[in-house]
Chains A and B, each alone.
Chain A
Amino acid sequence: MQLTNIKEKLSLFDGLLVTSLLAFGVKGCTYLLLGQIWLIIAALLLGSWVIYSFYFSPNRKYIPIRIWGILLILWGLTRGIIGLLITISPIADIHVNSQFGWQGNLLSTIAIGVGYYLSRAAKRGIASTNK
């Protein structure tokens, strides 16, 4: 029954999964153009692992998705904490300050929400396959 639920919501699940992976791919490309290679390598490795495990592996695996969801939550939480600290005790660094206005904090919140959704969906998927 859990697997059926996931299949019914597959379009939202697919959209959020691919979009979130693509977002970090774009971030990796941005920094690649500035001479920083590690982020695109990490994005490609992680994204490939997640996509292959879920869509192309003979036995559909949900654990990589759960891990990706948790990583998204951690990313959003870290930014959220930084944003909160800056609000409580502003710093003089304009570069950092400018990234934690309402748009930056909204991005952090969205990451937490998407990460939570993906993680929960993967957990249900794991549970359904273990029946």
Chain B
Amino acid sequence: MGLTPQLHHYRMPNLNPALDLLLHPYKGTNVYTILPAKLPTEEYVILGAHYDSKSNCPGAVDNATGTVMALSILAQQVKVPGRKKNLLVVLFDQEEEELIGSRAFVDFLLRRAYQVHSVHTFDMVGWDGDQNKEIELGAPSPSLAERYQNHAAQHGIPIYISAGGSTDYQAFREAGFNATGVNEAYTKRDSSPYKDTPKDVFSTVNFDYLAHTTLFVSEVIQTILTE
């Protein structure tokens, strides 16, 4: 795609001062790249997914699927001629360890005063047991909820809003960003039963669902980038 990946090395304190006394700080690396808009602008749309997994877990659904989705959407948007916003795609480290990577990246964005239009994170988009193509939006902002729901209605895609769980968009929402998570129907328990286990492997991924969801979200992102 002709884009340059950049490394965001970070160190973060532990979540509790008592742990700071006993342990070293968290240390990790987020990886990001920027697809610039066609016209000069300081506004960014951010796509994110975590690339780490639990110890001894291959992490196919959680979260190779989210990572692939973010990169596939990026590949689609490279071809879009009328981009009016910059697209920043970031792969987070240490999501499985209390969202440390995304928290560090939020600090990074705030320190550099990035003007962020919206943040879309993807975590577990590879399971669809009831084959209904349903998508879950995790704790979306009202504007993003409306946008995704309108788009889903046009295509007849079932979509619902949940209060959200513990994943990367939480760090952005807590910091006041316009953010949402996109994932398989996790809170409805139509979700990979192999999460955080050694059985979360390639063969368990529902690639039809992954492709379908990726195309849908890519269209949403394209409308944001071009408006």
Contacts and interface: CB of A to CB of B under 8 A. Distances in A.
Nearest to A38: B17
Main DSSP-derived SS at the B contact region: loop
A39 B52 CA distance: 30
Contact of B22 (A34, A75, A90): A75
A92 B20 CA distance: 19
Given A93-B97, A94-B55, A94-B97, A99 B23 contact: yes
A92 B23 CA distance: 16
Contacts of B54: 92
A95 interface: yes
A31 interface: yes
A75 B21 contact: yes
B25 A78 contact: no
Interface in B14-34: 17, 20-26
Contacts of B23: 95-96, 99
Interface residues of B, number: 21
B128 interface: no
Main DSSP-derived SS at the A contact region: helix
B94 A95 contact: yes
> Which 10 A-B pairs have CB atoms at the shortest separation, nearest pair first?
A92-B54, A92-B55, A34-B13, A36-B13, A95-B97, A31-B20, A94-B55, A99-B23, A38-B17, A95-B26
Interface of B: 11-13, 17, 20-26, 52, 54-57, 94, 96-97, 100, 196
